[in-house]
Amino acid sequence: MLITFPDGNKREYENGTSALQIAESISSGLARTVVAAKVNGKTVDVCEPLNEDGTLELIKFDTTEGKDVYWHSTAHLMAQAVKELYPEVKVAIGPAIENGFYYDFDREDAFSDEELEKITQKMKELAKKKFTYERRVVSRDEALSFFQNQDEQYKVELLEAIGDDQVISMYTQGGFTDLCRGPHLPDTGMIKAIKLLKTSGAYWRGDEKNKMLKRIYGISFPSNKELNQYLENLEEAKKRDHRVLGKDLDLFSFSSEIGAGLVLWHPKGALIRHFIESFWKEQHLKNGYSLVNTPHLGKAELWKTSGHLGFYDESMYAPMSIDEQDYYIKPMNCPFHIEIYNSSKKSYRQLPVRYAEMGNVYRYERAGTLHGLMRVRGFTQDDAHIICTNEQMASEVKRAVEFSVFMLKSFGFEDFEIYLSTKPAEKFVGEAEDWEKAEAALENALKELNIDFQVDEGGGAFYGPKIDIKIKDALGRAWQCSTIQFDFNLPTRFNMEYVGADNSVHRPYMIHRALLGSLERFFATLLEYYGGNLPMWLAPEQVRILPVSDLYLDYSQKVCDELAKQGFRVHISNEDQGVSYKIRAAEKQKIPYMLICGEKEEKAGTVSVRQHTKGNIGSFELSELSDILR
């Protein structure tokens, strides 16, 4: 068989040779680090025999696919350890997640910290035995019989839900067998460093009507050094948690009286939002967008036309009856923007149309998935829709990508992960030719702008390909922000048209585009990225004046008035406390600059300046200080 490598090199191997054997033929060091293989675009076990010509990519832990395989394999190892220590426990599911893995178990009592340590030690013991992960394809009846005999009712339920056309496989390591698609590591010996992090409750299949299971979260790495670095980052992440910072800095809160997932913005938080939204509007107007505003609810017929009531109704709030008609609170802005477009006939001369809105939307998220500002039920979508002709498509995509990068860099983000998601293999709408044009436009825009990106083959939505931009922070965490998404579905559903230069009616292209994504999630990302130490232009309070005593309140007020007149956000700390207390209070509130005013400063017409986290930076006249602050 002829194997083609990512660099274009080709080599012949005997049929039945595995990717691991191919890795060993290249380098024994390489073979020790390969965790899986991608054959013709599909991730498979590295030990699986290959029997046909194709492309081969050897996957290591340091890739997204590699981590997924590594952590999924560790989840199986954890389940094996739990079953050996507590045979009465029933196993449910154990996937890899963004950072690590979890496994759900049916057990009456929660796992204690002592038991987590005991499970960890058993996992390490089993790992050292280097059990191979053996895959076996079986019939549905054979799998059902096996798990029924094991009294594993959750596996039986999963099997009953699997379609007749799907391949059923089981993996065994040591004395433990699990129902799983795979792929997995060659053996448990590759798992070197393990930490079980926490436990929680989780409803079976995420349904509150089902039984509450016991979930264990964990993380694993090929070395203790990597694990220790991760745990250090985890501690730093706790300090940066936007929920903690939001409370400490008095930015936002939630109330059980109002409802879960609905945000209350406090004065300081609302002020920061104002700065973000004002900048957003200013830049959109400069970039040729038209600002629109749309209602919070619409008639059921609208959501039937859009398809939301057919495909998205579980995430929509229940209808309300008005004038004997059902209305739904909006989960998205798209249909409203389309109705604005369709309100008058359009000529090709009027395109492109770019509608932008900071639109409030509401989506029902399960209570267990809510997480601060990251996952809420009511949020503000940084939304825009670009409606253009075939000829304008490429330039509009490039323009949108440039605008996305500009906006993110304006907020201080520099390190990005960018993904191009292409047509799904099976379910999709639209003509193949349109998909090809759209994918080419997205890819060419990234290449022309010299932006590195990864291709997510088949990862596009059923209605169009897309670009996703994630930002990376100092801890290496990736945050989803910008999305540029083609839609071949809604223009047809809403019969969108324009008259072309040939006087014929044409269907326009439509691009969904969010630069910041959800404003709530973006706000949380900003807080955690900066650890609450927001850039000067976003700080709700930029300067705090600290009088040494009440004798210097008048001078402090004079300084305050002068800075306020120049547009700075400044307050006076007039508590009956010493200056050391006032400094600590200002530091805790992460005020960028503190100005100390005492006898010496009043006589000289200066202020002593402290910068947050840096301490004293000297004495300055107000004119000098203004330049520093600006």
Instruction: Give the Cα-Cα-Cα angle 433, 434, 436 (nearest 5 degrees).
Output: 65
| Spatial distance between the Cα atoms of 180 and 170, rounded to a whole number of angstroms | 5
- From the candidates 38, 284, 363, 590, which is the catalytic residue? 363
Q: Is 385 a catalytic residue?
A: yes
Q: Is 382 exposed, middle or buried (0-12, 13-18, 19+ CB in 10 A)?
A: buried
Active site residue 381: yes
Is 198 tagged catalytic? no
Phi and psi dihedrals of 126, rounded to 5?
A: -70, -35
Q: Exactly one of 215, 423, 512, 521 is catalytic; which is it?
A: 512
Angle at 194 between CA 193 and CA 195, to 5 degrees: 135
Phi, then psi, of 213 in degrees rounded to 5: -100, 170
Please give the C-alpha separations between residue 387 and each of 13, 29, 157, 467, in angstroms, as whole numbers: 51, 52, 46, 17
**Cα–Cα–Cα angle for 160, 162, 163, rounded to 5 degrees:** 120
Q: Residue 118: left if φ>0, alpha if ψ -120 to 50, beta else—which one? A: alpha
Q: Which of 346, 385, 399, 521 is catalytic?
A: 385
Rounded CA-CA distance 138/135 in Å is 10
Beta-bridge mates of residue 187: 132
72 catalytic? Reply is: no
Q: 155, 242, 466, 582: which one is catalytic?
A: 466
What the block records as the tokens of 263 is 């945000």
Q: Rounded CA gap, 268 and 274, in Å?
A: 10
CA geometry: angle at 580 spanning 575 and 582, to 5°? Answer: 35
Cα–Cα dist 329/320, whole Å:
9
SS (H, E, C) 467-521: EEEEEECCCCCEEEEEEEEEECCHHHHCCCCEECCCCCEECCEEEEEECCCEHHH
Query: Shortest CA distance to 598 belongs to which of 551, 543, 544?
Result: 551
Q: Is 466 a catalytic residue?
A: yes
Of 381, 434, 468, 610, catalytic: 381
Q: Terminal CA-to-CA distance of the chain, rounded, Å?
A: 66
d(CA 514, CA 527): 20
258 contacts 264 by C-beta, under 8 angstroms: yes
Active-site choice (83, 178, 242, 334): 334
**Catalytic-labelled residue, pool 45, 68, 382, 383:** 383
Catalytic: 512? yes
What are the tokens at 131?
């059990």
Residue with tokens 């993110």: 408
Active site amino acids: 334, 363, 381, 383, 385, 466, 512
